[in-house]
Amino acid sequence: MVVKMMKWRPWPPLVTRKYEVKLSVRRLEGWDLAREPEKERLTVEIRWKGPKATLGSLRRPSVKRDFTKEAAAESDVVSWEEEEFQSVCSLTSYKEDDTLFYPWEIAFSLFTNVSTSNNNRISKNGY
């Protein structure tokens, strides 16, 4: 006698949709040159961080990082050439309704590159 047992989830499976996100960094307004008198080279770091992993996988979520090219701070406006970054985001819904998704975090950090004689030091501005 052969018995085949099937396991049924007590909840419906999660629906995942993939979206291609395009982000462009154009300019920064209000840079305080009185605080930093010399011309500086500024770089923006973009971090793409997905939702936290479930109990099935105890690994931390992967973080994708992108950097802009260096731009000179000559006035209170710092502008980059039309730089565009792309990332594929898998949005997972947590209800039967397909309009509610777990959040994705996109963070920006501004770096000033200060050149010394022996090495380059990068200091982070802001949070």
Q: CA 48, CA 23: separation in Å to the nearest integer?
A: 11
pLDDT at 12: 65
Selection from 63, 78, 97 nearest residue 31 by Cα? 78
Q: What single letter denotes the amino acid at residue 1?
A: M
- Domain count along the chain: 1
Q: Is 59 helix (H, G, I), strand (E, B) or coil?
A: coil
Q: Is residue 92 part of a domain?
A: yes
Judged on CB neighbours under 10 Å (0-12, 13-18, 19+), 102 is middle
Question: In the structure, what pLDDT confidence band is assigned to residue 57 with cuts at 50, 70 and 90?
Answer: low
- In the numeric block, the tokens 């396991």 are attached to 7
Q: Is residue 29 part of a domain?
A: yes
Q: Is residue 57 part of a domain?
A: yes
Q: Is residue 20 part of a domain?
A: yes
pLDDT at 126 over 50: yes
Which residue range is the domain that position 97 belongs to? 16-125
Q: Is residue 84 part of a domain?
A: yes
Q: Is residue 118 part of a domain?
A: yes
Give strand pairing partners of 98. none
The distance of Cα 37 from the centroid of its chain, to the nearest Å, equals: 30
pLDDT at 47: 92
Q: Is residue 104 part of a domain?
A: yes
4-56: per-residue pLDDT in tens? 777 776 766 677 888 899 999 888 888 775 565 566 778 889 998 887 655 55
Q: Is residue 108 part of a domain?
A: yes
More confident residue, 85 or 53: 85
